[in-house]
């Protein structure tokens, strides 16, 4: 039970990678707040899975892109549990399209949720972690932040922005024993990648040395490690989990 007594918040925890992260953290003893924005049913299902695995958690609904909402939510969490140890900024959306045709709202929505959302949540959680002199912030970036991807200028930009934020915040908070790192998943089997055609999938597999798409669990394992005491000397890093797609 690596995380006994710890309190975690996973944004976008109702599905996909977020759900797998919630499960992993909860099964290692953390109390996990599962954040969602719309899909309450999925959040409840994540909680049910946590419960089945012998863990504890609670659903919390708010939009990370709204500056005030995470502040209020974190304040409520700290009031209830007395602490905030692990923040996993996983909430992310995509609005793919070629930049030359991209609508302003498609750019804004992705940047606001994926990048500003990380700012909002980190800002809301940092003070508590500073007082505790212990914290783990794990930000979900992406392989495309490093490699780029046609049709994802907005998504890649938001994810690349997370890397700069991660490194800067790591420097700011290190003196308080707060480690801030980023995980860069490659192609993972979730709702976000389910829209790929068979042909697209075949093409992409050719680029992956380990010859398979990743699972949410592949990513969750790395998040768990970074959240644990074992990763206490790791900060400001970007850990790729991509089957070798990018090196």
Partner 1 sequence: MSIEEKVIEIIVEQLDVTREECVPEAAFIEDLGADSLDLVELIMAMEENFGIEISDEELQKIRTIQDAITYIKKKKGLAS
Give me the residues that bind partner 1 (CB under 8 A), please.
127, 130-131, 172-173, 175-176
Smaller CB distance to partner 1: residue 59 or 78? 78
DSSP-H helix ranges across 93-152: 104-111, 117-132, 143-147
User: Which is nearest to 206 in space by CA: 243, 240, 239, 241?
Assistant: 243
Structure tokens at 218: 């592949």
- Cα–Cα distance between 239 and 27 in angstroms, integer? 22
**Contact status, residue 219 vs residue 241, Cβ threshold 8 Å:** yes
Smaller CB distance to partner 1: residue 95 or 123? 123
Q: Look up 155 and say whether it is catalytic.
A: yes
Quote the least distance from Cβ 42 to partner 1, whole Å: 36
- Which one of the listed residues 127, 155, 233, 246 is annotated catalytic? 155
Smaller CB distance to partner 1: residue 127 or 212? 127
Quote the least distance from Cβ 131 to partner 1, whole Å: 8
**Contact status, residue 75 vs residue 127, Cβ threshold 8 Å:** no
Residues recognised as catalytic? 155
């Amino acid at each position: 039970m690596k995380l006994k007594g710890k309190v975690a918040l996973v944004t976008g925890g109702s599905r996909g990678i977020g759900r797998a992260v919630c499960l992993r953290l909860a099964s290692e003893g953390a109390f996990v707040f599962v954040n969602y924005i719309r899909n309450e049913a999925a959040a409840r299902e994540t909680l049910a899975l946590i419960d089945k695995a012998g863990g504890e958690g609670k659903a919390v609904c708010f939009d990370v892109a709204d500056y005030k909402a995470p502040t209020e939510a974190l304040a409520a969490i700290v009031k209830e549990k007395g602490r905030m140890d692990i923040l996993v900024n996983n909430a992310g959306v995509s609005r793919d399209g070629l930049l030359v045709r991209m609508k302003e709202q498609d750019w804004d929505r992705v940047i606001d949720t994926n990048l500003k959302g990380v700012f909002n949540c980190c800002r809301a959680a940092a003070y508590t972690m500073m007082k505790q002199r212990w914290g783990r912030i794990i930000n979900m970036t992406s392989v495309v932040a490093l490699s780029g991807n046609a049709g994802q200028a907005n998504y890649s930009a938001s994810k690349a922005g997370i890397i700069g934020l991660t490194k800067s915040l790591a420097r700011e908070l290190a003196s308080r024993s707060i480690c801030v790192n980023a995980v860069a998943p490659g192609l993972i089997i979730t709702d976000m990648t389910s829209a790929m055609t068979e042909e697209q999938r075949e093409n992409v597999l050719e680029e992956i040395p380990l010859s398979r798409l990743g699972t949410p669990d592949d990513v969750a394992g790395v998040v768990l490690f970074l959240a644990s005491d074992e990763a206490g000397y790791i900060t400001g890093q970007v850990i790729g989990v991509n089957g070798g797609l990018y090196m």
